[in-house]
Amino acid sequence: MWDDAFPSFLIGLREGLEGGLIVSILVATLVRAGAKSRLPQVWTGVLAAIALAMSFGAVLTFTAASLSATAQEAFGGALSVVAVAFVTAMVFWMRRSARSLSGEIKEKVTGALGMGAGVLILTSFLAVGREGLETALFLWTTARAAGESVGPLTGAGIGLVLAAGLCWGLYRRVLKINLTKFFTATGAVLIVIAAGVLGYGLRDLQEGGVLPGKAAYAVDLGGTLDAGSWYSTLVQGVFNLTPTMTWLQVLGYAGYLAVVMTLFVRGVRATKPAPATAPTGTTTAAVPEAPRGAGAASTPRPAA
């Protein structure tokens, strides 16, 4: 169970932190603007986004259950590929946007304040909805790959709770986290996990008759490795690597990992900031500002 929980824990932590940071920035901006009365509009949009994500997960579950065995394989494989695409885009987007996220959200909220309640609800809904849909799709994919839902749901729940705690700490300014380094480290791990999801998805598409080569094995260690051993279970749960893999799986896994990881590392090196005079170890651009007077560990602000 716990080996299946790690990928979901990581996606829950990362997506939860992304969504939580956006909500924190929305709330902090409204509080500092003296518009606390409009906070219910933010929470309405957030709850609507959560409801949409849960509904999306239910639709995926019931749709797959109503299909034939072959169609289920094809359906699951196609969604695994889509999930990999979403996760990859998320990793690269957050790597680029971590430093400017706060300013972008504040600008949107400032514009929404001058409009009707529907605009602010829509702003929070769209900001959180993307993370919710990505999380639901990835959780459904990992649960299907694991063959059970308890581990993935438990891992995701722990990750989301931890993300909520981190966001609260950042909002109150009692925590200082280098978000750029955090998203870089988790992004690299997610790329490795996504490579395994891609390999699993390609195998499903082969089983569903969409792609050829389901009997062309590049690796067949089923006779020498115990699939039920702890180490085999750990590798399968975390990386989706199985003792038996087709050529398409191996090529898809290795090709994705080589290309995406290379681009990711190059992008990280290219966006490294120049040495600054401010103390290192924290990233403040993406951290929401707390209300005035909040938190004993607040950083003194320069006089206007």
Contact between 246 and 203 under an 8 Å Cβ cutoff? The reply is yes
pLDDT at 28 over 60: yes
What whole-number distance in Å separates Cα of residue 164 and Cα of residue 19? 9
What whole-number distance in Å separates Cα of residue 150 and Cα of residue 148? 6
Angle at 156 (CA atoms; ends 155, 160), nearest 5 degrees = 120
Contact between 132 and 52 under an 8 Å Cβ cutoff? The reply is yes
Q: What tens digit of pLDDT does each residue of 117-168 get? A: 677 788 788 878 888 898 899 888 888 877 778 888 888 899 999 999 998 8
What whole-number distance in Å separates Cα of residue 119 and Cα of residue 254? 44
What whole-number distance in Å separates Cα of residue 11 and Cα of residue 247? 28
Q: What tens digit of pLDDT does each residue of 89-110 get? A: 888 887 777 666 666 666 766 6
- pTM for the complete prediction? 0.75
Cα–Cα distance list, 29 to 50, 113, 122, 246 (Å): 22, 10, 16, 52
Give which of 34, 29, 17 is closest to 283, Cα–Cα.
17
Q: For residue 161, give every residue at least 6 positions away whose Cβ sits within 8 Å of its Cβ, in sequence order, or none.
A: none
If you search the block for the tokens 């509080």, which residue do you land on? 31
Average pLDDT, the chain: 79
Cα–Cα distance list, 239 to 4, 216, 253 (Å): 9, 21, 10
